[in-house]
Amino acid sequence: MSLIRIGDFSQLAQVSTRTLRLYDERNLLKPAQIDNFTGYRYYALDQLPRLNRILALKDLGFSLEQIAEILAKDLSAAQLRQMLADKQAELERQLQEGQRQIARLAARLRQIEAEGGVSPYEIIVKALPALVIASVRRVIPSIDDMQIVRGEMFMALYGWLERQRIPPAAPEIAIYHNPEYVEEDIDMELATAVPADLRLTRDGEPALRQLASSPLTATTVHHGHFMEVGGAITALFTWAAQNNYAAAGPYREIHLFGRELDIPSPKNVTVEIQLPVQPANSAALPE
């Protein structure tokens, strides 16, 4: 068996000696012989096919751990075909996510150019699980009636929970069911989370119901005066339009500050605005 030193093998295979040492450490390609006195590594020419297979798999996007598994199991053609198909699907998903990131970056640049500065609202997309809530829903005549009616609704909600001996939990939520911004006939639902094992009922109000999960939800956080939360809502809908999303349900106002009835001042609150979304070319989803 003809042996050549690692440097010469490196030149022949067009692979750095550092890479060959790494493959040795990972048990992917061991030297054919190591000189006990000098420590020099020697390779055989018939190891080139194995090295080329390692390089080919690496070029296809497989990790060294995955390559080691492929080589160790001596996979059949059908098994290797399946692994290649899985890798192709994974790379396509990564490509799609990269394209979405590029689109978000472009939208952010357009936003900065349009506003002449950086928006105070950062938008992220996340999945929301289903939530069991106790809620009261009313149509408020006008925005001028909002504060008084909200207070009455929350008092009715928490009073009912106390009489039913149902412990309320975070978060407290306001849900706006109008499909667009309105200042009259505001269809609003006020709610709080409750234990998930309660029996759901819509007999009268307040009612216990499940707030549906939302696999795609654009969210942002407002910190400041309660009356200025509209800026966060505008930023959220603007972002959705710029990123080719459409509303997939009513937006939600999540009270991270606790109970609205208990806040000492509306000047310093933290509120998360959540908007279920879907790609704009999809059919509208029901609430």
Residue 116, pLDDT score: 65
Q: How far is CA 279 from CA 93, 218, 262, in A?
A: 16, 12, 38
Residue 73, pLDDT score: 78
Q: Under a CB-based contact definition with an 8 Å cutoff, are residues 255 and 248 in contact?
A: no
Question: Is 266's pLDDT higher than 80?
Answer: yes
Residue 115, pLDDT score: 63
Residue 114, pLDDT score: 63
CA dist 136 and 150 (Å) reads 10
Q: Which superfamily does CATH assign the domain made up of 124-279 to?
A: Regulatory factor, effector binding domain (3.20.80.10)
Name which of 39-53, 100-114, 128-142, 173-187 the model is least confident about. Answer: 100-114
Residue 285, pLDDT score: 43
Average pLDDT of the segment spanning 7-15:
89
Residue 189 — very low, low, confident or very high, per pLDDT cuts 50/70/90?
very high
Q: Under a CB-based contact definition with an 8 Å cutoff, are residues 220 and 123 in contact?
A: yes
pTM of the full predicted structure? Answer: 0.62
Q: Under a CB-based contact definition with an 8 Å cutoff, are residues 188 and 246 in contact?
A: no
Q: Kindly give the pairing relationship between strand 269-279 and strand 251-255.
A: antiparallel
> How many helices (H) and strands (E) would you count in the chain?
7, 12
Residue type, 276: P
Residue 1, pLDDT score: 65
Fold of 3-73: Multidrug-efflux Transporter Regulator; Chain: A; Domain 2 (1.10.1660)
SS3 274: strand
DSSP string, 87-131: HHHHHHHHHHHHHHHHHHHHHHHHHHHHHTS--S---EEEEE--E
Residue type, 244: N
SS3 211: strand
Average pLDDT of the segment spanning 128-138:
94
Residue 192: how many CB atoms within 10 A of its CB?
22
208-211 CB contacts, 8 Å cutoff, 24+ apart? 208/132, 208/133, 208/134, 209/132, 209/133, 209/135, 210/130, 210/131, 210/132, 210/133, 211/130, 211/131, 211/132, 211/133, 211/173, 211/175
Residue with tokens 């972002």: 239
Residue 118, pLDDT score: 60
Residue 173, pLDDT score: 96
Q: Kindly give the pairing relationship between strand 169-176 and strand 214-224.
A: unpaired
Residue type, 50: R
User: How do residues 73-129 score in pLDDT, each as one tens digit?
Assistant: 777 778 878 888 888 898 898 898 888 778 777 776 766 676 666 667 888 899 999
Q: How many degrees, rounded to 5, is the angle at CA 243 between CA 237 and CA 244?
A: 90
Domains 3-73 and 124-279 share a fold: no
Question: Is 286's pLDDT higher than 60?
Answer: no
Residue 287 — very low, low, confident or very high, per pLDDT cuts 50/70/90?
very low
DSSP structural state of residue 137: E
Question: Is 22's pLDDT higher than 70?
Answer: yes
CA dist 231 and 245 (Å) reads 19
Residue 284, pLDDT score: 47
Domain ranges of the chain: 3-73, 75-118, 124-279
